[in-house]
Amino acid sequence: MAEEKRIATRVSYGEELVALGAERDDFVVLDADLAAATQTSRFKAAYPDRFFDCGIAEGNMVGVAAGIAAAGKKVFCSTFAMFAAGRAFEQVRNSIGYPHLNVNICATHAGISVGEDGATHQCCEDIALMRSIPGMTVIVPSDDTEARAAVRAALDCAGPVYIRLGRLAAPVINDPVAYDFKMGRGVTLREGGDVTIVATGLMVAAAIQAAEALSAKGVAAEVINIHTVKPLDEELVRASAKKTGRVVTCEEHSIIGGLGDAVLAALASDPVPVRKVGINDVFGESGPALELLKKYGLDATGIEREVLDFLKD
């Protein structure tokens, strides 16, 4: 796999905001004193009059975003996933979700790959929380290409969109020119008949790597990139599961309520055995991101191990 270029999806987001800002002035960007980290600082530097820092008050920021959208205007708001989906959950539910407002919540520093900040800032529950809100679109971009496309698509999406972005530089796996992003549609990256690996976000690159390693051992893994966890491309998942008879889900998120559970629900009516690679109902800890991912089994080796164990059954 080509890994020459690595870029964190939060950086892709910041850069794409600037690009969008050059094309149109019909949206504003909010942050909650984390602009440098979420990368909205790039937009702030380019278009200071279209950027509003709401200070360290995420519930209010989300409500302010709702008010801007209720006034018929477009808005992005950003903070860490922990605060956007966690602290401000009820504001997102009642002020954005219930009235189905076009607010784009771009939450960065999701998952355990936050690294050194430790468990308080490693949000592994946001997909579960956001999925539970009726009408909420939940997107977890796998790389730079996808993050940019998702940000662009969200701006003109009628209802609320939650985009989950990472701190860690991730390999670019999608062709920036040829890639055709379609909200709600999964992407089959590799075909195989022995097992289906359904991955999202940072885990997509790891899944491709795992599939390559498995191939060398004679295991043909199908790899599906689910960038839109909600609404889930159930048809694609079901068809692949039927073909291979085994599904392994991979996410940098709790195994409770995330991609794994979404896939399980999709397969419930016509069951296929499923294994979930994710954070196993524990809190994270401080450490370098890559070491943490390895420790918690959220890398190619972890996926490969899970698949091989699965195939023994």
Partner 1 sequence: MTDQELARIANEVRRGIVTAVHAAKSGHPGGSLSIADILTYLYFEDMSVDPTDPGCTNRDRLVLSKGHAAPALYSVLAARGFFHAEELETLRRIGSRLQGHPNMNDTPGVDMSTGSLGQGVSAAVGMALAAKHWHESWRTYAILGDGELEEGQVWEAAMLAGNMQLDNLCIVVDHNGLQIDGTIEEVNSAMPVADKFHAFRFNVIELTDGNDMAKIRDAFQKARTHKGEPTCIVAETVKGKGVSFMENQVGWHGKAPNDEQFARAMAELVAAGKEL
Q: What are the residues binding partner 1 (CB under 8 A)? A: 28, 49-50, 52, 54-55, 57, 59-73, 75, 90-91, 94-95, 98-100
**In angstroms, what is the minimal distance from the CB of 106 to partner 1?**
17
Closer residue to partner 1, CB minimum distance, 39 or 91? 91
**In angstroms, what is the minimal distance from the CB of 59 to partner 1?**
5
Closer residue to partner 1, CB minimum distance, 53 or 191? 53
**In angstroms, what is the minimal distance from the CB of 306 to partner 1?**
41
Tokens representing 100 are 């189905």
**In angstroms, what is the minimal distance from the CB of 101 to partner 1?**
9
Closer residue to partner 1, CB minimum distance, 50 or 152? 50
Q: What are the C-alpha distances in Å from 57 to residues 79, 158, 160?
A: 10, 26, 20
Closer residue to partner 1, CB minimum distance, 11 or 136? 136
**In angstroms, what is the minimal distance from the CB of 56 to partner 1?**
9
Closer residue to partner 1, CB minimum distance, 62 or 226? 62
- Chain centroid to CA 52: 25
Annotated catalytic residue 125? no
Closer residue to partner 1, CB minimum distance, 99 or 231? 99
Distance separating alpha carbons of residues 123 and 79, to the nearest angstrom: 12
Tell me which residue has tokens 């929380």.
129
Q: Which of 4, 15, 23, 58 is catalytic?
A: 58
Distance separating alpha carbons of residues 134 and 84, to the nearest angstrom: 17
Tell me which residue has tokens 């009726």.
134
For the packed helices 203-216 and 300-312, what is the interaxial angle rounded to 10 degrees?
A: 50
**In angstroms, what is the minimal distance from the CB of 160 to partner 1?**
13
Distance separating alpha carbons of residues 86 and 164, to the nearest angstrom: 13
Closer residue to partner 1, CB minimum distance, 54 or 161? 54
**In angstroms, what is the minimal distance from the CB of 46 to partner 1?**
16
* Catalytic residue ranges: 58
